[in-house]
Structure 1
Amino acid sequence: MDEEILEKYWQYLRREYRKENTRKNYYKFVKYFLEWLWETKHKTYDELTPEDTKDYRAFCLENYKTNGNVGRLNAINNFVDKFLHRPELRISVPASEYVNKPVLSHEELERYRNAAETPLEKLIVTYQIDGLLRPGDFFKLKISSHDIENQILYIDDTKTGNNSVILTPNMIKAFKEYLPYRVKPKRKEDEDKLIIIPKGSHRGFAPSPDSDFIYRHTKKIAARAGFKRNIYPYLIKPSAITDGFNQRVNPRVLQRQARHKKIETTLRYNHATDNMVKEYFNRKQGIHDLDHLQSHEKARIWLDKLLAGEIDTATFKKGIDILLPTGRRRGEDIAYL
């Protein structure tokens, strides 16, 4: 096999690409490609023809999902064009397909959160839900990157580059409660790593970025919560963003916490189900039927109109006087809202 060219390609990736995940994925996919080339056609990289790369593209499309082929085939194009300087070997890459994941409801998210028992588990679920962290982000977490005073968590070399998230009060609480239980690292290079494996043969070591550490803990917590459906790390983030939309969180707040460069990316996570849409229209169409609402529900509707710009402050105050029961002091229910 082309061991020598793979070593040279790895050195090229180290020079040209800052992100470790990009380097590793490109190298991995090119290695698979060269293995396929040898096993299928008994050829090495210097014997490549356009027909070979096209045949590999067809092989990938037949055996792998579209979204996985995006990275897989982009790696091949990088290898033949940028590294080998043979642009005639390039192949077309299919566009990514958007997958509408069946996200967790607010109640399911809370059930998942409450099922965490140990300080480490509570840290994981809180950083997943509040911090919107991806599984790979956890392996980059450092104690020194937590700026508690300014409520900022710095994360380097992420999918969107060096970035940060806002530390919510829940995240700060989980962080502080976890530290006393954190196992002492066995290696000097792990001393600043936040997550240290607490038990087993790897006790005292930071989990490897290639491990399924977060995946296994997510499955364990979900099983304890009694979920029958498949729960996995990449489901938590879109569920939490969707829950934010349902709780009327400003999309720009969600965009900032999710570290999305474009608001369109955040809006793609707004997985409104049929029940959510029904609830919205039922609530809107029931606005004028005030006789069947409690006083705080009436005030909530009037406040929504104020926030939406449908009425001014003076009208809002007059409406509150009319909507709330006779004899209640003006503003008495405002604190509830």
Structure 2
Amino acid sequence: MGKYINSFVQVLNNKYNYKPLGLLKKDNLCNNEDYFSFGFANYIAWEQLSLLKYRNQSKGPMIFPYNTAPLFLKESPDNILILHDVIFLNRSPTKSLKQKIGQLYRSFIVPVIVHKFQHIITVSEYSKNQIIQRLKVSPEKIDVIPNSVSLTDNFENENPDFEDRDNVIFHIGGEPDYKNSKMLLYAFAGLPISIKENYRLKMIGIRDLKTLNEYRTIAEQLNIIDNIIFLDYQTDLEIKELYQNSKLFIFPSKEEGFGIPIIEAMKYGCSLICSNASCLPEIAGEGAVYFDPNDQISLINAITSTLDDKKAIETRILQGYEQVKKYSFEAFEQKIIFWYKNRFKL
């Protein structure tokens, strides 16, 4: 979400010379004159009280970029809400206390504040339809401006060929059940021995220690612990190298508002297998092999059939290169310009 709003205001600045001011809670260390830190240090108290007071005393447009806003915000055509998704309404089980509090907070706040905005931006047609159906928001209020990636003119030629990559299956997941990361362990254990003995599964995103230990226990019970590598925090450069050095990227989520790893995998020419749920077919198009996220055998078959057909892999990677161009920064920029001219004249 941080990358999204930074790119968004970059376009407004470059095209229309708007100089945005980033608002931060107290004690956020930032010496940049483009940011202003004030009010409470606790985020919820800051958003509901400090930010509300600031908004009541300020004029001009304000973007609320992180799905939420003050409960008692006054309705104004100058306010813009960026609502990435409504997955939090599903109350997906999680062991993380921080995530539980976040789900409860958004579930209480968003259904109220969403009706105070005349301008709502989301990141996929799927998310737009969910906002309309679940929050009863008029479709006329919602614009879809997808996430983006930066592409060079010859980005396709910067990636290794499939055969030159390591025998690695790469996955970016998370603790919530909807990320479906645990299913990947069981699917990997069910792969043919010829694949299982020659490939390693590298997973990032499992940060909660209890959840990580649970995953390790499952891997030990399935007798695949020597083939699984749980990676800790990775820099953007390290993640790029993981994409470029892996033969497969698997994204098994049951629910996503967009799925940024999908466009990253296509950008880096990493053969993509993803679930056929929520927005994922909309984003990946013909650049992926799909499977049923509720069917472990479906995932096993998708992995096996993909690795057995090198020609199909090469074709799919090329289709991914074409698909990801729809999410270039230039395409993102054009959508914001269209929105600015036709929907919200700052």
Is the TM-score greater than 0.5? no
Q: Normalised by the size of structure 1, how large is the TM-score?
A: 0.32
Higher relative contact order (CA 8 A, sep 6+): 2
Give the structure with the higher percent helix: 1
